[in-house]
């Protein structure tokens, strides 16, 4: 009943406007029905914008974090965090104070405990938005890339990430994964997803993109990006291609520094641009900026997020994009290096941005934009351009018609058997077999029944999946093997290596989960020590597929790449090792030799199979 009352508030208030009078309907029906930016839709939305105060207009530009599982009754620790960081107690107070146009969910902010809670939080946020002076729904967003970046964990369906899908090479699978993920997000009230990653990962040393990219070939990446855009948006979730103009060739993490990309204009057009062009052609709803410097595109060396030549000159004018442009998070060091937190949002808007994502201090950022408009540095007409794009997106997503979700809708959609089965099938097609000495694989339960699973156990991407060693051991156990799990970590100590060697005695095979092995990593020592026991060793790269190059000469018997350590990818890898599934994945990036980095150990497209 509360939902209906809140919705009626919006309908009544909107019906009082000239727009509603003109259409004879309620809840901005013209805009809600018109998914394109037609004249009637825009005129309706412009009349709505004209009703807003300047403070409301400025607020619509911001997408902000907030702590808590509830919009009005978060735990006290979350209240304290909100007061310390934002100066409000909860999401409802954030909306009433700053009139924000969107809220982003994070697991660490305790927004995503379980599906019913997420749905209730989303409904509470929408009620708060519709209770404002100008009743407006919010766009709720998150980073649900899948693979190593997930904010919503089980029991939601977890799917293979971008590089795994790149290894599978199927645009149909990429589109299906996007549709499943989008359908579940929409059921939770999350209507803008900061995915897919459109970066072309041509630098193996890239510390921030890596397996978040579909691969190193621009055309292959472009096709998979377009497929995911169509998948997400077929489920009425706004997809977001990121990070424009391309974050794939960096050796600096923009969370902690300001990366430079030294591609020429021609190299950018050949390597970085194709996926973004494909996203625009596919009708992408939003594009996220990168906090990177590309001198060939803007000699001022401003980060792209603050660059008018890049965002307006290239993205808007050259690529012809007129959808929503959202910044990457404004608390990242890459965008804060050159200018202070009060200048960054102003410069971003002047560059051509529409949504300002998660500033470190909302009051500082919001006040800076408000003052810039009052002083004339930013014209009110300029911010109204962005507000119109944002409201068009809200209308396209149907948020003016009905922004609410239900527990029944959650139960009928999130983590259902059909989605989980599809995730398993897709994951099986991504696992890549790189080496298989003596045809050790697939493992026979007769001759290799007793297994030891050791290796890295990095923190779960979603916060809800199990440690990789336990997940792998459990998957083997379900297939009739006897499997023991032993976590040795990403930097195993001599004592932990000795423990693993002792545990390997009498086993039929050892599976080692490796994680970003470097030239000096003790993970290499672990593999060598296990090989010395005489027990066959199988290595499985659970993040970047480059580990095999650093393990050359250790004597492993077989090696595979899973591209992530989420349960769905690890279970699929176990089925491939056991021969329950064929290894169909092919490398979407080259693996260079560790001793000669200019030479390829394995080229793009490499992968073994069991078929004779």
How far, in Å, CA of 576 to CA of 584, rounded? 9
Q: Cα dihedral angle (307, 308, 311, 314), rounded to 10 degrees? A: -110
Q: Which residues, at least 6 apart from 549, have a Cβ–Cβ distance to it below 8 Å?
A: 591, 592, 593, 594, 601
Q: Residue 601: enclosing H or E segment and its boundaries? A: strand 600-602
Contact between 502 and 523 under an 8 Å Cβ cutoff? The reply is: no
The backbone torsions φ and ψ at residue 572, rounded to the nearest 5 degrees and listed phi first, read -65, -40
Q: Which of 285, 328, 424, 508 is catalytic?
A: 328
Q: How far apart are CA 317 and CA 352, in angstroms?
A: 11
Spatial strand order of the sheet with 482-487 comes to 432-436, 558-561, 537-541, 509-514, 450-455, 482-487
- Count of Cβ atoms closer than 10 Å to residue 120 Cβ: 19
- DSSP class of residue 548 equals H
* Number of DSSP helices (H) and strands (E) in the chain, helices first: 25, 16
Query: Measuring CA to CA, which residue among 586, 569, 214, 584 is closest to residue 429?
Result: 584
Cis peptide bond prior to 364, omega within 30° of 0 = no
Residue 68 backbone zone (phi > 0: left; psi -120 to 50: alpha; other: beta) = left
Neighbour count for residue 87 (Cβ, 10 Å): 14
| Catalytic residue check, 328 | yes
Q: Is 80 a catalytic residue?
A: no
Cα 182 from chain centre: 12
DSSP 278-337: HHHHTT-SEEEE---B-TTT-TT---GGG-HIIIIIIIIIIS---SEEEPSPTTSHHHHS
Residues facing residue 482 across a β-bridge: 450
Centroid of chain to Cα 335: 19
Query: Which residue among the candidates 114, 255, 402, 450 is catalytic per the annotation?
Result: 255
Nearest alpha-carbon partner for 200 in 608, 590, 573, 599:
590
Active-site annotation, residues: 255, 328
């Amino acid at each position: 009943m509360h939902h209906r009352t809140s919705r009626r508030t919006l309908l009544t208030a909107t019906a009082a406007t000239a727009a509603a009078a003109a259409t004879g309907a309620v809840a901005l029906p013209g805009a809600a029905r018109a998914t394109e930016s037609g004249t009637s839709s825009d005129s309706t939305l412009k009349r709505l914008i004209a009703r807003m105060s300047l403070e409301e207009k400025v607020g619509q530009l911001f997408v902000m974090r907030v702590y808590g599982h509830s919009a009005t009754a978060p735990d006290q620790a979350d209240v304290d965090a909100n007061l310390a960081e934002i100066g409000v107690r909860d999401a409802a107070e954030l909306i009433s104070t700053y009139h924000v146009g969107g809220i982003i969910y994070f697991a660490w902010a305790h927004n995503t405990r379980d599906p019913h809670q997420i749905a209730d939080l989303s409904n509470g946020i929408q009620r708060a938005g519709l209770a404002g002076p100008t009743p407006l729904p919010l766009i709720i967003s998150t980073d649900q890339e899948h693979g190593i970046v997930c904010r919503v964990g089980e029991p939601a369906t977890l799917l293979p990430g971008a590089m795994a899908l790149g290894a599978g090479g199927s645009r149909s699978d990429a589109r299906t994964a996007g549709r499943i993920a989008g359908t579940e997000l929409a059921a939770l009230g999350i209507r803008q997803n900061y995915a897919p990653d459109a970066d072309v990962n041509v630098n193996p040393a890239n510390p921030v993109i890596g397996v978040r990219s579909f691969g190193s070939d621009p055309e292959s990446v472009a096709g998979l990006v377009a497929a995911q855009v169509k998948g997400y948006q077929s489920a009425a979730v706004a997809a977001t291609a990121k990070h424009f103009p391309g974050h794939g060739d960096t050796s600096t993490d923009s969370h902690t520094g300001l990366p430079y990309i030294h591609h020429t204009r021609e190299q950018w057009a050949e390597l970085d641009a194709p996926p973004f062009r494909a996203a625009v052609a596919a009708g992408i709803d939003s594009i996220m900026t990168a906090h990177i410097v590309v001198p060939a595109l803007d000699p001022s060396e401003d980060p792209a997020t603050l660059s008018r030549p890049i965002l307006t000159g290239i993205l808007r004018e050259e690529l012809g994009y007129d959808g929503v442009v959202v910044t990457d998070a404004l608390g990242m060091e890459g965008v804060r290096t050159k200018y202070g937190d009060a200048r960054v949002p102003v410069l971003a808007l002047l560059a051509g941005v529409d949504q300002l994502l998660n500033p470190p201090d909302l009051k500082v950022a919001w006040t800076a934009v408000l003052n810039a408009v009052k002083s004339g540095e930013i014209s009110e007409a300029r911010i109204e351009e962005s507000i119109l794009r944002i409201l068009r997106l809200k209308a396209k997503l149907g948020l003016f018609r009905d922004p609410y979700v239900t527990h029944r809708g959650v139960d009928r959609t999130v983590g259902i058997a059909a989605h989980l089965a599809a995730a398993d099938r897709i994951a099986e097609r991504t696992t890549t077999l790189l080496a298989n000495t003596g045809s050790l694989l697939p493992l026979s339960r007769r001759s290799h029944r007793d297994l030891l699973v050791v290796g890295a156990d990095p923190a779960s991407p979603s916060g809800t999946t199990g440690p990789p060693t336990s997940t792998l051991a459990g998957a083997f156990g379900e297939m009739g093997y006897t499997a023991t799990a032993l976590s040795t970590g990403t930097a195993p100590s001599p004592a932990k290596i000795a423990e693993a060697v002792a545990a390997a005695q009498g086993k039929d095979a050892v599976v080692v989960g490796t994680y970003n092995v470097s030239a000096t990593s003790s993970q290499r020592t672990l593999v060598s020590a296990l090989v010395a026991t005489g027990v066959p060793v199988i290595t499985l790269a659970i993040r970047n597929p480059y580990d095999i190059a650093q393990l050359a000469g250790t004597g492993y018997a077989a090696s595979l790449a899973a591209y992530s350590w989420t349960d769905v990818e690890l279970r699929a890898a176990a089925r491939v090792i056991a021969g329950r599934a064929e290894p169909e994945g092919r490398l979407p990036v080259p693996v260079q030799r560790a001793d000669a980095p200019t030479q390829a150990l394995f080229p793009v497209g490499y992968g073994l199979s069991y078929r004779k």
